[in-house]
Amino acid sequence: MSSVVAGIADIVVCKNSDSLALDAAHRFAALSSAASRGGKPFRVALAGGNTPAKLYKLLASPRFRGAIDWRSTHVFFGDERCVPIDSEFCNYKMAMETLIAPLNLDGATIHRIHADQPDPEMAAEQYAQEIAQHFGATTLPRFDLVLLGMGSDGHTASLFPNTTALTEADRWVVRNEPGLQPFVPRVTLTFPVINNAANILFLVAGKDKAETAARVLTGPSAPHQLPSQSVQPGDGSLTWLFDRDAAHGLIL
């Protein structure tokens, strides 16, 4: 595993997706312990998609479950698809199956995006209100950790190339149109919220991400075509975790 600093980010290349999940689990546990030592709740926004499932299962395993104070951990979501809650495409369902149910987490600490309702705009507004209520503030919420994935098109969360959500400067949560399967409306955190996080951790695995990862991290600035380039925390850490396949195109 090697680690170099590329501009504003740390880049860590793990042997495979299992070691990537393990590295992420250690980081998650360390950050949650730091919050706990400070007597503060740990607020994390989960990534959707498939890659994070290994991490969530690991966090719920005997190896990690006891290392985290789940009673003071508040689980949010970076984005959600507008599908039924029992749909295979529902990010909340994936988190429920891999993390929430196995740990039997208290529902009061789980803040899902109700994107299964008919109106995505209403879902976005309601989620922003839930975030504001939890953080007790009208100023930009600061998550302790935002987990992100990156699509092969360079999107992150549901911030897809050439979509209106990319330039949202005020709202915390918006509806957006998809750029990849499933082609359903999405509800997503916006860049102001993501970039206000204390820690951002990308989880990127697989050969299909290698070319895009190289363009995002080492190519020219093109944030509308490569939205992941817009993840630049103002006052926080940014770490990219890759497996070797996804890092193949990076010249480190």
Residue nearest to ligand 6PG (CB): 149
With respect to ligand 6PG, which residue has the nearer C-beta, 227 or 236? 227
CB of 50 to ligand 6PG, least distance (A): 3
β-sheet with 186-189: strand ranges across: 79-81, 186-189, 173-176
Query: Among candidates 165, 149, 133, 185, which has minimal Cα distance to 45?
Result: 149
Residue 56, CA distances (Å) to 25, 33, 61, 65 in order = 8, 17, 9, 10
CB of 157 to ligand 6PG, least distance (A): 5
CA 212 – CA 177 distance, rounded (Å) = 21
CB of 17 to ligand 6PG, least distance (A): 10
Q: Token match 């499932």: residue?
A: 53
Query: Among candidates 248, 166, 164, which has minimal Cα distance to 208?
Result: 248
133 touches 177 (CB < 8 A): no
Q: Which residues bind ligand 6PG (CB under 6 A)?
A: 47-51, 78-79, 81, 91, 149-151, 155-158
Residue 81, CA distances (Å) to 26, 33, 147, 182, 248 in order = 28, 31, 17, 8, 30
